[in-house]
Amino acid sequence: MIGSHRNAGLRLEVTKDYAALSTAAAGVILQELRHKPDLVLCVSAGGSPTGTYEVLAEHYASRPALFRRMRVLQIDEWGGLPANSPGTCLADLEQKVLGPLQIPRERCHLFRSDAAEPGRECQSVLRWLARNGPIDICILGLGLNGHIAMNEPAEALIPYPHVAKLAPRSLHHPMLGKSGPRPRYGLTLGLGDILRSRKIVLLVSGTKKRAIVKRMLKPRISPRLPASFLWLHPDAAVICDRAAAGTTK
């Protein structure tokens, strides 16, 4: 980490590169795990948290007992994809989190991309959260349009798990290049679920995210920029590398 400052409830931490970003984020999770071994970790798929999960897997190799009670909640999924599609968020998480950390199905709750009744699938997540929540640590990525999870910019945002209409830009996510069919909708936690997390960590890397980072760091909250709602949280950290922060220090 090379820089840190706090504005109200939102803390910005700038690291020298993606590797340092990943180490910093993993450090937050490991520290919390030592205090609460059965914590609920809400995980996002995609590129931003990949390095963080790799660091956790390295720690698992030497200290597997640390992870034996940790619970995992999937934050979102591409709706309408076959369950065996390599483009699902679950396929990504199985490869990077559930497999390497040996998280059995009884210690995680997942969205089904091929759910026959998407609304009821969201209700099952809501019930799981009621029994097991709130989330202890929520790991987020930042969309180029300011979305977090699959909460897209809109006139109003839904606070609880719901079926989401995906923005055209989201339908061109790199994960979907290998999926074959396109998703028809998203399944996602709502902003209320995310904001009830005890700790939030938003990971942002690369120059292409620089403009949206600059926008979200302005203390203005709007449903047109879902990530701006993190300003309302008492313990939210934006961990980004120099490229995303637009700084050389």
Candidates 54, 59, 114, 145; catalytic one: 145
76-79: strand order across its sheet: 76-79, 185-188, 162-164
Candidates 92, 136, 152, 193; catalytic one: 152
Candidates 109, 121, 147, 173; catalytic one: 147
Three-state SS letters, the chain: CCEEEEECCEEEEEECCHHHHHHHHHHHHHHHHHHCCCCEEEECCCCCCHHHHHHHHHHHHHCHHHHCCCEEEECEEEECCCCCCCCCHHHHHHHHHHCCCCCCHHHEECCCCCCCCHHHHHHHHHHHHHHHCCCCEEEEECCCCCCECCECCCCCCCCCCEEECCCCCHHHCHHHHHCCCCCCEEEECCHHHHHCCCEEEEEECCHHHHHHHHHHCCCCCECCEHHHHHHHCCCEEEEEEHHHHCCCC
What CA dihedral angle connects 224, 87, 174 and 128, to 10 degrees? 30
Annotated catalytic, 152?
yes
Annotated catalytic, 7?
no
Annotated catalytic, 76?
yes
Candidates 13, 76, 77, 92; catalytic one: 76
Q: Which residues are annotated as catalytic?
A: 76, 145, 147, 152
